[in-house]
A and B are shown apart, each in its own frame.
Chain A
């Protein structure tokens, strides 16, 4: 162990690192760890904002013909909720984990372009503020998070909400592309000696592929945003049917971005799960090669499925069949991953610490969300269910029950590394059960509501059988969900101040980030030895007894 440890004995908390003292050291930072922390803190802040918006909507829907808020406010709330959760919470949360962990996992000092890294964060940060400034500038956007034209045109959305929405997404989009480029180049050029692509931790693999997705999928969104801004500010005709423009053009461009985007939101979460499950099952990842290749397959296929968001727009059948087939096909590589995770757990010595609990819940909930997703690839089912609460249930199962649960697993797993303190396991269990019960209680019933015909994005509904009851159930459970999230935040704050000192490697893990002190010093490692396998830290710890480890991942 002494061989492996590069611990600076004096570092046990962030306060011990003198380079991190004072506000200026954070604002002016180009250190990937500080930037990563700022991403994650901002993302969790916007998670809170988005949850408050959702809670107001749930209260409005608690009984039929309710008039707690006006329809206009409701429209603004669901637009801001969706935009916030996708662009201000999920993407920065994933980027935060990525820029914090990738250099540590590959044994690098920092990202390939540290200044570009800071630029990416600040573009996100000020883009996010610009979006929320719209509330003070005459009204938030109210056209849904995918802002369909021509509703977003000046003649239908006259105030400046959409302008702020499009501009802030452009700014954040530029930041995302910058971060995507940075992640790709970091992984390709800064790996420690001996760390071949076949020895890369799976989290790094997923983040790398994610970088490629970001770089290629953001431009369609940016192109669409430029066009809608031109329509609104320069009176052009891209999306105005009256003068020859095409509303479908927006949908095509938006979903060319939008469908890769859902994989952008989930691939790093897959990466987190692929790190957590092997460590807590005490087994190597089953099917490492397949995990990496299936990720490439997902990235490739994700550019060829966007039309399934538009099955109800009256396109020709030939093209519908094509996209139905590709949409079903993309379930295959995702299914491979699920089976590989289960196979890793199978026969392992599973430790149900909090990260593993969340990872297990992720597996089940993401599978449910994946299955409800496949129903949309079947054209007749899509026609029946599109724009109903079934879609709402689906997206929350994959993004909240999937991505957010995985990122909470990741938070419990890496919190000791980032802060030097363990999170409370006892509170973690409360956190887990409240979230699982709250989440499933809130969203499982929405499937039924959708099948019964409740359309999404309407601020109230008539008193028809079961609607009131199911909405009320959903709203009550939403409070349990929020309580779970509050317990999570409380656990983070309490553990940061009072948590048990973690030490370098509290989980007996295998990847390089655990070889340095917790939190890591600004330079990350004093030196990095040549990597001989997929579990470099395990090799170091067992250097005397297991030279055979070098066979792995050749």
Chain B
């Protein structure tokens, strides 16, 4: 296996353990919050579902970017990377408005255990999306530069591994935090 790919996969394995433990903490504390806001009475399932669709679609566009890179179509790489970045940004903006709404309702990280675990878990995920966006922007910059990234560079593939990982984590987080709350 190509060494950069292997390095990223190993890193993703490490990150997976980190998120698994944050999710475990969320589940463990779910019923211990006591009085106050809970997932069921403060979260907006519909709104978040829309932003979730944006993030999940970004995995598809990312896949096409890798596909174009393998086919040495540098124009395609640029277009698909741009689409991925836009979708990722929509997700982050969605998360930002959600946070803003919660904080206006005085649902903060220090309010109770729901706030504590919710903001820690989704915050770390959002942070990872942001890091992913930075990496994608660098890739886009290289792809736009005619003398820059060679379109079949494995860099696109390596960063796609990270991006898909962030997506998969969100599927787990969304299931546990949002869907479970309304069951």
Q: Identify the A interface with B (CB < 8 A).
A: 112-113, 116, 177, 180-182, 184-185, 188-190, 215-216, 218-220, 222-223, 226-227, 230, 234-238, 243-246, 249, 253, 256
B13: which A residues are within 8 A, CB to CB?
A: 215-216
Q: What are the 5 closest A-B residue pairs judged by CB atoms, nearest first?
A: A235-B110, A219-B18, A236-B116, A219-B17, A244-B32
Give 10 A-B contacts (CB < 8 Å), ordered by A residue: A181-B7, A185-B6, A185-B10, A220-B17, A226-B120, A235-B110, A238-B29, A244-B112, A245-B32, A253-B21
Tally of contacts, chain A with chain B, CB under 8 A? 89
CA gap between A347 and B120 in the complex, in Å: 60
Docked complex Cα distance between A216 and B1 (Å):
21
Nearest Cβ distance between residue A230 and chain B, in whole angstroms?
6
Q: Which of B65-119 contact A (CB under 8 A)?
A: 109-110, 112-113, 115-117
Q: Is the CB of B14 within 8 A of A181?
A: yes
Please measure, in the bound complex, the distance between the C-alpha atom of A238 and the C-alpha atom of B26, giving whole angstroms: 10
Given A189-B3, A223-B25, A226-B120, 7 more contacts at CB 8 Å?
Answer: A181-B10, A181-B11, A189-B1, A215-B11, A234-B109, A235-B110, A246-B29
Residues of B within 8 A of A (CB): 1, 3, 6-7, 10-11, 13-15, 17-18, 21-22, 25, 28-29, 32-34, 109-110, 112-113, 115-117, 120, 124
Docked-complex contact A223 and B18, CB < 8 angstroms? yes
- A219 near B29 with CB under 8 A, answer no
Q: A181-B14, A216-B14, A244-B33 are in contact. Are A236 and B120 (CB under 8 A)?
A: yes
Q: How far is the CA of A126 from the CA of B109 in the complex (A)?
A: 30
Known: A219-B17, A223-B18, A230-B116. A238 touches B25 (CB 8 A): yes
**B113 engages A188 (CB within 8 Å):** no
Interface contact A237-B116, CB-CB below 8 Å: yes
Output the nearest chain A residue to B10 by Cβ-Cβ distance: A181
Which residues from A are CB-within-8-Å of B32? 244-246
Contact between A243 and B112 (Cβ–Cβ < 8 Å)?
yes
A249 and B28 form a contact (CB under 8 A): yes
Q: How distant is the Cα of A230 from the Cα of B13 in the complex, in angstroms? A: 24
Interchain CB contact under 8 A, B109 and A184: no
- Whether the Cβ atoms of B120 and A216 lie closer than 8 Å is no
B11 contacts across to A, CB distance below 8 A: 177, 181, 215
Q: Is B22 a contact of A223 with CB atoms below 8 Å?
A: yes
Knowing A177-B14, A215-B14, A219-B18, say if A244 contacts B120 (CB, 8 Å). no
Rounded to whole angstroms, the CA-CA distance of A185 and B21 in the bound complex is 25
Give the distance in Å from the alpha carbon of A554 to the alpha carbon of B84 in the complex: 48
**Closest approach, in angstroms, between the C-beta of A252 and any C-beta of chain B?**
9
> Which residues of A lie under 8 Å from residue B112 when comparing CB positions?
237, 243-244
| Complex Cα–Cα for A181 and B5 (A) | 11
Contact A185 B3 (CB under 8 A): yes
Q: Please state if B18 and A222 are interface contacts (CB–CB under 8 Å).
A: yes
- Residues in B with CB closer than 8 Å to A256 are 21
With CB as the reference atom, state the residue of chain B lying closest to A244: B32
Partner of B120, one of A219, A227, A245, A253: A227
How many angstroms between the C-alpha atoms of A237 and B28 in the bound complex? Answer: 13
Most buried by B among A113, A222, A243, A246: A243
Query: How far, in angstroms, from A177 to B1 measured CA to CA in the complex?
Result: 20
B residues less than 8 Å from A216 (CB atoms): 13-14, 17
**Shortest distance between the CB of A525 and any CB in chain B (Å):** 19
Whether the pair A238, B116 counts as a contact (CB closer than 8 A) is: yes
Looking at B10, B13, B34, the one whose CB has the most chain A CB atoms below 10 A away is B10
Measured CA separation A116–B3 after assembly (Å): 13
Complex alpha-carbon distance, A113 and B8, angstroms: 12
**Chain A residues, CB < 8 A from B124:** 226
- Residues of chain A within 8 A (CB-CB) of B3 are 112-113, 185, 189-190
Q: Which of A116, A181, A190, A220 has the most CB of B within 10 A?
A: A181
Q: Which of B11, B22, B113, B116 has the most chain A CB atoms inside 10 A of its CB?
A: B116
CA distance A165 to B12 in the complex (A): 26
CB of B22 to closest CB in A, whole Å? 6
Residues of chain B contacted by A181 (CB below 8 angstroms): 7, 10-11, 14
B110 touches A236 (CB 8 A): yes
* B18 neighbours in A (Cβ, 8 Å): 219, 222-223
For residue B14, give the distance in angstroms from its CB to the closest CB of chain A.
5
Could you tell me if A249 and B109 are in contact, using CB atoms closer than 8 angstroms?
Answer: no
- Chain B residues whose CB sits within 8 angstroms of the CB of A226 once the complex forms: 120, 124
Query: Given the known A-B contacts A112-B3, A236-B120, A238-B25, are A243 and B113 also in contact in the complex, defined by CB atoms under 8 Å?
Result: yes
- Determine the distance from Cα of A244 to Cα of B13 in the docked complex, in whole angstroms: 31
Do A246 and B28 touch across chains, with their CB atoms under 8 A apart?
A: yes
Of B10, B115, B120, which one neighbours A184 at CB under 8 angstroms? B10
Task: Report whether B7 and A245 are in contact in the complex, using a CB–CB cutoff of 8 Å.
Answer: no
The residues of B that contact A219 with a CB separation of less than 8 Å are 14-15, 17-18, 21
**A106–B70 Cα gap in the complex (Å)?**
32
Residues of B within 8 A of A218 (CB): 14
Shortest beta-carbon distance from B37 to chain A in Å:
13
Chain A residues lying within 8 Å of B1, measured Cβ to Cβ, are 188-189
Tell which of B1, B11, B21, B29 has the most Cβ of chain A within 10 Å. B21
Q: How far is the CB of B118 from chain A (nearest CB, A)?
A: 11
**A220 with B7: in contact, given A230-B109, A234-B109 (CB under 8 Å)?**
no
Contacts of A177 in B (CB 8 A): 11, 14
B87 to chain A, nearest CB (A): 28
Candidate in B15, B17, B34 with the most chain A CB atoms within 10 angstroms: B17
CA distance A189 to B10 in the complex (A): 13
User: In the complex, what's the smallest C-beta–C-beta distance from A263 to chain B, in angstroms?
Assistant: 16
Taking A185-B6, A220-B17 as contacts, is the C-beta distance between A234 and B25 under 8 angstroms?
no
Closest chain A residue, CB of each to CB of B29? A244
A103: min CB distance to chain B, Å: 13
Closest to A220 in B: B21
With A177-B14, A188-B6 given, is the CB distance from A245 to B113 under 8 Å? yes
A220 and B21 alpha carbons, distance in the complex (Å): 7
Contact present for A112 and B7 (CB under 8 Å): yes
